[in-house]
C-alpha cells in the first residue's frame, strides 16, 4: 500500500485531491525497484515541503526485519533541465563532505545526503513518462521544521551552515556545473520582474500596484552585491543557495543542525546569499505564506542567535566586505524573494507550486513585510553583526 498523507495543504480540498491523485499516479512501488534498496517495499508517503520537486519517504523492510527509510524525489526537470550534471554536482559535494565527516570520526550517512544508486549504478532513473527520479538514504533521528520553534534552533542551524560552507571552502568552484545560472543575481531578477510587468501575462498588474511600486523603488539595492562580486570584492565560493530553514536537519535529541540538505542548487555563489536566505526564512515569526501580516515580524532575537552561530563556525573565513554586508544580505535576499514571488504571480503562477488562490501574492506580501521590518531595524542588525564579528 502507498499512503498519501503529508500532502494536506490546509483547507484547500481541491488542491489536496489533485495533489493526491497526481502523486498516486506515480507507481512508487514499481519505480523504486530500479534502485539499490536494502529490503522489501512497504510503503511510500507523500511529503508536502518544497515548492519545486515532489518528495516521498519510502519504507522498506530489511533482512533483519527492521524498517529502513529512503527519500525518493521526482526532480522538476522544467527547472532542473540537466539532471545528469545536477546529480554529478551532488555526488561530488556529498563525497567531499562525507570524507571530512569520516576523518573526524562522524557518520556520513547522518551528516550529509548519500545517494542511493540505481541497479545499473546511475545517480537517477528516467521512467517511461520521462520523469526523473533519485533516491537518498533517510537521515534518521533528525527532522526539519517549517518554522523556528526555539531561539536555540537558530544558533545551532547558524553553526551548521557555517560548518557546511567551511567543509566546502576547499572544493574548487569551477568543478561544479552551474545548475541555475544567475540564480541569485538580484539585478537580473529585477530585470525579469520588469519584463513580467510589461508582459502582464495573467492580467494581474492592476491588482498589485502598491506591491509593484515597493519593489520598483528598491532597484538600487538589487545591484549592490552583484557589483561587489564583479569588482572582485566579494569572492565566489561554493555555496548552497537555498538555505531555507527547512533545509537543515535538526537532531531530535540535541537540536544540533546535523546536515544541510536539498543540495540541488549547490554551485558557485556568495556566502551572503546563504546567510541572507537563512534570515529570510528563519528569523521570522510566521510561515512564508502567512496571510495575516500582523503575525509576520522580523525577529531581532532570532537574527542575533543565527548570526552568533554562523560567525562562530564561518566567521574566520569571511572577508571584510562579506562581514560588512551580512545585515544587508538578509534584506536583499528577502527583497529578491518578494520579486520572485510577485513576478510568478504576474506570470500566472508558472514556477512555484501553489495550493490556493493568490498563493504567490500572499507569499510576496509576507516577504515585503519582512523587508520593511529589516529596513526599520537595519542599524541594530549591523550592531549585532559587529558584536560577533
**Strand, coil or helix: 173:** helix
Alpha helices in 104-200 (DSSP H): 108-111, 151-167, 186-199
Note whether 211 binds ligand GN1 by CB under 6 A.
no
Mask for 318-357, x = binds ligand GN1 (CB under 6 A) = -------------------x--------------------
Mask for 226-255, x = binds Mg ion (CB under 5 A) = ---------------------x--------
Note whether 240 binds ligand GN1 by CB under 6 A.
no
Q: Closest CB to Mg ion among 214 and 341?
A: 341
Residue 51 interacting partner from Mg ion, ligand GN1, none (CB closer than 5 to 8 Å by kind)? ligand GN1
Mask for 272-311, x = binds ligand GN1 (CB under 6 A) = ----------------x-----------------------
Distance CA 12, CA 23 (A): 17
Distance CA 389, CA 382 (A): 10
Residue 288 interacting partner from Mg ion, ligand GN1, none (CB closer than 5 to 8 Å by kind)? ligand GN1
Q: Closest CB to ligand GN1 among 311 and 333?
A: 333
DSSP codes of every residue in 23-50: HHTS-HHHHHTTB--SSEEEEEEEE---
Q: Closest CB to Mg ion among 50 and 151?
A: 50
Residue 165 interacting partner from Mg ion, ligand GN1, none (CB closer than 5 to 8 Å by kind)? none
Note whether 336 binds Mg ion by CB under 5 A.
no
CB of 246 to ligand GN1, least distance (A): 7
Q: State which of residues 34, 51, 237, 369 lies at the interface with ligand GN1 (CB under 6 A).
A: 51
- Write phi, then psi, for 27 (nearest 5 degrees): -85, 85
Residue 111 interacting partner from ligand GN1, Mg ion, none (CB closer than 5 to 8 Å by kind)? none
Nearest residue to 330 (alpha-carbon basis) of 208, 243, 254? 243
Please list the residues that pair with 61 across neighbouring strands.
40, 67
Q: What is the torsion angle, in degrees rounded to the nearest 10, for the CA atoms of residue 289, residue 366, residue 283 and residue 108?
A: 40
**Strand, coil or helix: 316:** helix
Note whether 264 binds Mg ion by CB under 5 A.
no
Nearest residue to 282 (alpha-carbon basis) of 244, 226, 238? 244
**Strand, coil or helix: 154:** helix
- Mark the segment that binds ligand GN1 (CB under 6 A) among 12-20, 45-53, 114-122, 157-165: 45-53
Note whether 262 binds ligand GN1 by CB under 6 A.
yes
**Strand, coil or helix: 145:** coil
Q: State which of residues 262, 277, 305, 322 lies at the interface with Mg ion (CB under 5 A).
A: 262
Contact of 264 with 80, CB cutoff 8 Å: yes
Distance CA 118, CA 198 (A): 46
Distance CA 289, CA 58 (A): 28
Residue ranges binding ligand GN1 (CB under 6 A) = 50-52, 79, 242, 244, 262, 265, 288, 337
Contact residues: Mg ion, CB under 5 A = 50, 247, 262
Amino acid at each position: 500500500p502507498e499512503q498519501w498523507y503529508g500532502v494536506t495543504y490546509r483547507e484547500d480540498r481541491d488542491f489536496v485531491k489533485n495533489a493526491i491523485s497526481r502523486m498516486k499516479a506515480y507507481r512508487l512501488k514499481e519505480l523504486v525497484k530500479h534502485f539499490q534498496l536494502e529490503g522489501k517495499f512497504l510503503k511510500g508517503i507523500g511529503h508536502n515541503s518544497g515548492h519545486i520537486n515532489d518528495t516521498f519517504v519510502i519504507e522498506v523492510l530489511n533482512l533483519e526485519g527492521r524498517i529502513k527509510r529512503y527519500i525518493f524525489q521526482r526532480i522538476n526537470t522544467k527547472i532542473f533541465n540537466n539532471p545528469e550534471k545536477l546529480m554529478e554536482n551532488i555526488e561530488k559535494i556529498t563525497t567531499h563532505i562525507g570524507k571530512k565527516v569520516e576523518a573526524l570520526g562522524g557518520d556520513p550517512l547522518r551528516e550529509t545526503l548519500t545517494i542511493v544508486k540505481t541497479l545499473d549504478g546511475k545517480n537517477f532513473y528516467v521512467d517511461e513518462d520521462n520523469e526523473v527520479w533519485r533516491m537518498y538514504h533517510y537521515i534518521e533521528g533528525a527532522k526539519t521544521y517549517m518554522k523556528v520553534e526555539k531561539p536555540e534552533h537558530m544558533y545551532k542551524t547558524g553553526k551548521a551552515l557555517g560548518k557546511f560552507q567551511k567543509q566546502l571552502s576547499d572544493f574548487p568552484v569551477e568543478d561544479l556545473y552551474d545548475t541555475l545560472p544567475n540564480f541569485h543575481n538580484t539585478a537580473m531578477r529585477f530585470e525579469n520582474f520588469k519584463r513580467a510587468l510589461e508582459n502582464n501575462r495573467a492580467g494581474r498588474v492592476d491588482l498589485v500596484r502598491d506591491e509593484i511600486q515597493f519593489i520598483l523603488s528598491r532597484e538600487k539595492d538589487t545591484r549592490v552585491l552583484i557589483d561587489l562580486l564583479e569588482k572582485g570584492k566579494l569572492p565566489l565560493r561554493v555555496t548552497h543557495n537555498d538555505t531555507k530553514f527547512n533545509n537543515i536537519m535538526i537532531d531530535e535529541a540535541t537540536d544540533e543542525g546535523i546536515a544541510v540538505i536539498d543540495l540541488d542548487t549547490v554551485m558557485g555563489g556568495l556566502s551572503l546569499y546563504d546567510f541572507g536566505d537563512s534570515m529570510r526564512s528563519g528569523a521570522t515569526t510566521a510561515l512564508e505564506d502567512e496571510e495575516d501580516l500582523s503575525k509576520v515580524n522580523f525577529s531581532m532575537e532570532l537574527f542575533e542567535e543565527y548570526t552568533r552561530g554562523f560567525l562562530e563556525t564561518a566567521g574566520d573565513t569571511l572577508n571584510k566586505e562579506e562581514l560588512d554586508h551580512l545585515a544587508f544580505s538578509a534584506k536583499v535576499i528577502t527583497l529578491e524573494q518578494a520579486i520572485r514571488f510577485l513576478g510568478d504571480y504576474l506570470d500566472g503562477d508558472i514556477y512555484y507550486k501553489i495550493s490556493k488562490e493568490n498563493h504567490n501574492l500572499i507569499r510576496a506580501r509576507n516577504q515585503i513585510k519582512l523587508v520593511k521590518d529589516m529596513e526599520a531595524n537595519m542599524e541594530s542588525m549591523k550592531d549585532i553583526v559587529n558584536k560577533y564579528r
